[in-house]
Amino acid sequence: MCGIFGIVKEKEENLGPILIGAAERLTYRGYDSVGMATISGDKIDLRKDVGKVDTVAEKFNISEMSGQRGITQLRWATFGAPSQVNAQPHLDSDGLMVGAHNGNVVNNIELRQQFIEEGLTVRSENDGETCVHAVERYLKRGYEIIDAIRLAYGDLAGDYAFVLGQANDDKLYAMKKGSGLVVGIGDDFTCLSSDLPSLLPLTREIIRPQDGEIIILSHDQVELRSVTDGKIIQRESEIITESMDAVQKGGYPHFMLKEIHEQPQVARELHHLLDDSSELDSIVDKMRNARNLYLIGCGTSYHACISGSVALAQIAGRAAIPVLAPQFISQFAPTVNHEDVGIFVSQSGETKDVLNALAAAEVKGMTPFGIANVIGSTLTQFTNSCLPLGCGYEISVPATKTFTNQVFIFLYLAHKMAGRDLDELAGIPVLMEKTLAMVAPQVEELASTLENVDDMYTLGYGATFPIALEGALKLKEITYAHCEGMLSTEFKHGPLSAVTENYPIIFVAGKEDIPLIISGINEVTARGARAIVIGPDDERLRANADDLIVIPDAEEQISALLAVLPLQILSYHMSVARGVDPDFPRNLSKTLTVD
């Protein structure tokens, strides 16, 4: 998740320290490269590279940069590897304009090709540069800057926010389409940023632009215009009174809760990204024709692999073997060859267990693909193609939004392989929003009744089996209680003996499996257990369950995906009630780079 910041002063000043400070405040979003540009009169000074803010700042003497306007950008690679040329900001062909964006321009590749054919100088693979040329092409055709931005907005597909400045001007221009952008008003300056926390040390007076608005910053004035007709939009500024910590967490008490609530938006953005991916056809083709197809990961990512395996079988009729990465080495690597395909799944792209499995697969000539959140990570470099999860930085140790986007990618691959309409998945973000709104109060209440429980089970079947496993992992990871996820039908083969009065068992019910789940419920309630059910609004479930958490009605695979949301919320509230910090549970780390 990239970050941008821009500032406009009345006259030329030393802007380096301000740009470095803003960049440092944006680092929590995750980044691989950093860049700064200052503009004064006809001079644009651009300095950028791969690396940490302090390293790049020292290497390029950023603290001495001066200008009347300044832009900084932190890049989290999606289009183009992390490199100096792909780092942002970017110049136009003639070095008269400089700009940077955050988000994803999903028709980047097509637009770059058009710009090259039109004779513009395209230097990088990065979509931030595409934003600059998208405006430049209309300036070259004689349009004024505002009209050029309006036309560029129509050409640039995806979710992004974008800032640019021209030589021989005194303003910065920005536009917002689906990504965060906040404007700040100071005593003798105006500024903007991808998020509120990075503005707060400079000013507490802010304006929140909406999608489809162009922002024109002068040192003493902020103007908003509609991208549709160019007309001025009136918007009052507001004063922020909350603390910095509260603002960084987006108003949520913990990053985990913030990330849970980000899931609809990152799923929406991922759908756009996948729709425009140039790699998907060949990946799907290789998957379809593989002798054996393996889905390989650890922890939460492994649960996504099981979901993927169920989706590929049920939707596309393609068998795929989900494997825990270390077990792949001993159980499958001896048997694989060049006819096999492996999809290695990892949020961090650095999990040692996964990289070991990748190395073992490569020795045998297997074709490796990846799914990762951190672009530029080892996994993205050593797989033939690696699909991005597009979640931005996931701070909280328990994975939430990266799990749902992993499952989303597998659903997408399965639909594509089956030749099904990919728009069938377009409703998922709204269904997620609906689920969060429907379940949140009831689940919080439920958590208060389970606060002192030290032992429980989560059970699922078919598409909900991996969801039960994932729910159990979330619960044990941040509550420190024992929780085991299982196939519901396995419970009678042993664990049933653990059941005593009020013993909590959470069933995740798919609508196709209700009769089977009801048998499971009665098996345990007959022995005194408390059956908590997550599933569709169904009379049979209502009659048999002690508690029913209703999720929206949806197709089987999508319904399973939605069912993980109440489990995430339950684990979050139980964790807080038990005095654990859900963001940073003891003994765990976000990235496991050891065997």
Q: Which residues bind ligand M6R (CB under 6 A)?
A: 298-301, 346-348, 351, 354, 397-399, 473, 477, 591-592
One-letter-per-residue 3-state SS of 305-360: HHHHHHHHHHHHCCCCEEEEHHHHHHHHHHHCCCCCEEEEEECCCCCHHHHHHHHH
Q: Smaller CB distance to ligand M6R: residue 293 or 399?
A: 399
Query: Shortest approach of ligand M6R to residue 477 CB, angstroms?
Result: 5
CA proximity to 182, closest of 170, 169, 196, 168: 196
Residues 6 or more apart from 526 whose CB is under 8 A from it? Answer: none
Query: Shortest approach of ligand M6R to residue 240 CB, angstroms?
Result: 32
Q: Which helix (H) or strand (E) holds 33?
A: strand 33-40
Q: Smaller CB distance to ligand M6R: residue 43 or 590?
A: 590
CA distance 69 to 29: 24
Q: Smaller CB distance to ligand M6R: residue 206 or 399?
A: 399
CA angle 388, 389, 395 (to 5 degrees): 125
Structure tokens at 391: 């979640």
Q: Smaller CB distance to ligand M6R: residue 168 or 587?
A: 587
Q: Which residues sit opposite 222 in a β-bridge? A: 217
Residues 6 or more apart from 285 whose CB is under 8 A from it? Answer: none
391 is catalytic: no
Packed helices 556-577 and 428-450: angle between N→C axes, nearest 10 degrees: 40
Query: Shortest approach of ligand M6R to residue 396 CB, angstroms?
Result: 9
Residue 212, Cβ neighbours under 10 Å: how many?
15
590 is catalytic: yes
Residue 374, Cβ neighbours under 10 Å: how many?
24
Phi and psi at residue 282, to the nearest 5°: -75, -30
Peptide bond into 89 cis (omega under 30): yes
Query: Shortest approach of ligand M6R to residue 254 CB, angstroms?
Result: 14
**Torsional class of 66: left (φ above 0), alpha (ψ -120 to 50), beta (otherwise):** beta
Query: Shortest approach of ligand M6R to residue 347 CB, angstroms?
Result: 3
Question: Among all residues, whose Cβ is closest to ligand M6R?
Answer: 299
Question: Considering 140, 364, 476, 590, which one is annotated as catalytic?
Answer: 590
* DSSP single-letter state for residue 494: T
CA distance 512 to 524: 21
CA proximity to 193, closest of 226, 224, 158, 161: 161
Structure tokens at 63: 């603290």
Q: Smaller CB distance to ligand M6R: residue 152 or 355?
A: 355
Query: Shortest approach of ligand M6R to residue 301 CB, angstroms?
Result: 4
Query: Shortest approach of ligand M6R to residue 367 CB, angstroms?
Result: 20
Q: Smaller CB distance to ligand M6R: residue 346 or 367?
A: 346
Question: Considering 2, 131, 305, 391, which one is annotated as catalytic?
Answer: 2
Query: Shortest approach of ligand M6R to residue 342 CB, angstroms?
Result: 14
Q: Smaller CB distance to ligand M6R: residue 73 or 377?
A: 377
Query: Shortest approach of ligand M6R to residue 134 CB, angstroms?
Result: 34
Q: Smaller CB distance to ligand M6R: residue 194 or 383?
A: 383
CA proximity to 54, closest of 80, 12, 14, 24: 24
CA proximity to 389, closest of 443, 343, 436: 343
Q: Smaller CB distance to ligand M6R: residue 143 or 252?
A: 252
Burial (CB count within 10 angstroms: exposed 0-12, middle 13-18, buried 19+), residue 480: middle
Residues taking part in catalysis: 2, 590
